[in-house]
Structure 1
């Protein structure tokens, strides 16, 4: 059974990430942990809510949050079709956001975190891109970022940006294979470069080798593409739009793809700007 952690702020976008998760894993046995963390979300540094005395979050917490959690359970029941292989646990706690995430990853052996982007709760702006970016870059767990209004309609065109300075081991490729279960999906290996000069022979060898290894792991068509762009996020976005892609997979090991090749770019920029669900895998 897959253990999935879904932080929630009860916003529409947060609920959409739950809906996306249920559709994505509709035939997979899962235990979904829905986590609400009562924190002050407007500051750049994390502070536990109880430091703010009569802060509105604290005043509304006991009764209002319980009601919101009950409403969330009803919402899940209404869209889950009561699948016997789906189990749900709601968690409410007060404290640090990332600390809570890390704690539950360890305690509940979480396989995947699913988060929405650009959400805002009725109590306080909380579930922002910064939060999902923090989880991607500061928490060691695979993370799926679901943009606002994204709907799961199966995978047809999947983009995998590649960094040939990073080794892709079998464990990482097996992770990709576990998510891409439909043989109808086309896997597009995307190499973004700043210069249009011909690729080095060793790079061409590496891309052919990676495509071959992926083809052995997946029953999918795999192709290699090169895009010239000053910034990797611009290259990914333009390619994704032209392809009408509906899923992006990124390997976040050491963040090599962004920090080594494109110094001024981070995985956060891509996750915040894209309108396509993005899966960040720990390599």
Structure 2
């Protein structure tokens, strides 16, 4: 992991993603590219002069704003600004622009903040929700309530469908941070000896230093989130890693049962989301 694209819209909520990226860079040798999409939507009154304002002139002002916004967070975190860059992009659709630019610079990851609690759209925000469904680049989704602290463990919620490949992808992230991986798998048929034997064999095949496996009974009346919340509370991971099928409906159904759809997903733990 050498380069991370860190997005911001200058909102207070977006500061969480910047704080996380700064912490991440302090534990690994990665470059941070701070990125803002200027879609001109912030003009309260559109006039001919504002619309025709030279792009280079406007970008210079926006870049100065970006530097000042991020620099203030560096000062709060008492961290030096090392290996950073500042980019203003002029595109009408932020989510498309983010993915396009991340591919252009060959970013290893896109880091962005959530909006807050509530329904899945309110929690993730429009851009994060769209990126989960479209981005081939791993996403770091940072809850707006996140506060900086050293990263110590990663919880990987796995369906065991492609365990070996997925673990290798996660290890590219954890190896630079020198943090262990806790693999959690939830299964309806855990009492079945043949199922338990298969899971144990897969765990043994992928067992190595820094990786531990935890098999739990999945109860059909509860969402995956309900199961995860208990284990998140007990193990207190620094990051939760998941692989999605890049279907927004799948992501919503995975986390939210129909009975809890309006309660939403609210956690202080960052999510690392990979394409499945």
Looking at structure 1, the residues matched to 247 and 147 of structure 2 have their Cα atoms a distance apart, in angstroms, of 27
Task: Tell me the residue number matched to 1:82.
Answer: 80
Looking at structure 2, the residues matched to 36 and 95 of structure 1 have their Cα atoms a distance apart, in angstroms, of 12
Looking at structure 2, the residues matched to 184 and 3 of structure 1 have their Cα atoms a distance apart, in angstroms, of 19
Structure 1's unaligned 5+ residue stretches are 40-47, 120-125
Change over 3 Å in CA distance of 1:265–1:176 after alignment to 2 = closer
Task: Tell me the residue number matched to 2:275.
Answer: 282
Task: Tell me the residue number matched to 2:168.
Answer: 174
SS in 1 for 2:241: strand
The answer on 1:226 being equivalent to 2:188 is no
Looking at structure 2, the residues matched to 225 and 246 of structure 1 have their Cα atoms a distance apart, in angstroms, of 20
The answer to whether the 8 Å contact 2:142/2:269 transfers is: yes
Structure 1 residues 17-72: Cα deviation after superposition (integer angstroms, max 9, x where no partner):
11211212314232222221134xxxxxxxx849x9829xx779938634421312
Looking at structure 2, the residues matched to 243 and 162 of structure 1 have their Cα atoms a distance apart, in angstroms, of 16
SS in 2 for 1:115: strand
Which deviates the most, 269-278 or 135-144? Answer: 269-278
Deviation at residue 142 of structure 1 after TM alignment: 0.3
Looking at structure 2, the residues matched to 114 and 132 of structure 1 have their Cα atoms a distance apart, in angstroms, of 10
The answer to whether the 8 Å contact 2:159/2:186 transfers is: yes
Structure 1 residues 173-202: Cα deviation after superposition (integer angstroms, max 9, x where no partner):
122123224666461413154xxx544445
Task: Tell me the residue number matched to 1:264.
Answer: 253
Task: State the TM-score, normalizing by the size of structure 1.
Answer: 0.72
Aligned length: 256
Deviation at residue 140 of structure 1 after TM alignment: 1.1
Structure 1 residues 232-273: Cα deviation after superposition (integer angstroms, max 9, x where no partner):
1222223322433332110124569x84xx993369x89943
